[in-house]
Amino acid sequence: MSLTMYAATVPTCTRALNNLAAILEKAAAHADARKIAPAVLLNTRLFPDMFPLATQIHIANDIAQGGAARLAGAEVPAFEAKERSLPEWIAATRATIAYLESLKPAQFDGAEDKTITWQTRSSTRNMQGTPYLFNHVLPNVFFHVTTAYDILRQAGLELGKMDFLGRS
């Protein structure tokens, strides 16, 4: 069986986001048990010039759904940048997962050779589908999920490798 663009995109991003949602659920329980205002966790950064947890969650969701939508030839849903509580971030992440799961494998047919165009903060970018997925979408999803994990681990959550990887 050959690797399809759908198989490389949807299950991979869905797994990463499911694990992120589970980590966020642990963060909510941690904050509640230790009487920490969840906003403190959402505004925590690893270093002053890095984005806080809330932004890491936002970008992971936005890149996953935007990347999958572009590869599938679907309209890119807006992922609204706004303040959210931990339960709202968990719900937003679960909604992104539902969106990804709504995409059909046939929508990804030919995506590997399609030119993907998207807007960054400073420019318009173009890439062929395969490098777009493997050199932009997946590394960005993993970077931001990893950074969210790291922020929460540094904040005292008892997390391990299997929280990041999830159970197969």
Q: What is the domain partition of the chain in residue ranges?
A: 5-165
HSE toward the beta carbon, residue 65, CA cutoff 13 A: 23
For the residues 115-127, what does the mean pLDDT come to?
Answer: 92
CA distance 149 to 140: 14
Is 1.10.3720.10 the CATH classification of the domain at 5-165?
Answer: no
Q: What is the pLDDT of residues 94-113, one digit of tens each?
A: 999 999 999 999 999 999 99
Quote the crossing angle between the two packed helices 53-72 and 5-33, to the nearest 10°: 160
For the residues 57-81, what does the mean pLDDT come to?
Answer: 94
Quote the crossing angle between the two packed helices 5-33 and 138-154, to the nearest 10°: 10
Q: pTM for the full model?
A: 0.94
What is residue 82's predicted lDDT score, i.e. its pLDDT?
Answer: 83
What are the counts of helices (DSSP H) followed by strands (DSSP E) for the chain? 7, 2
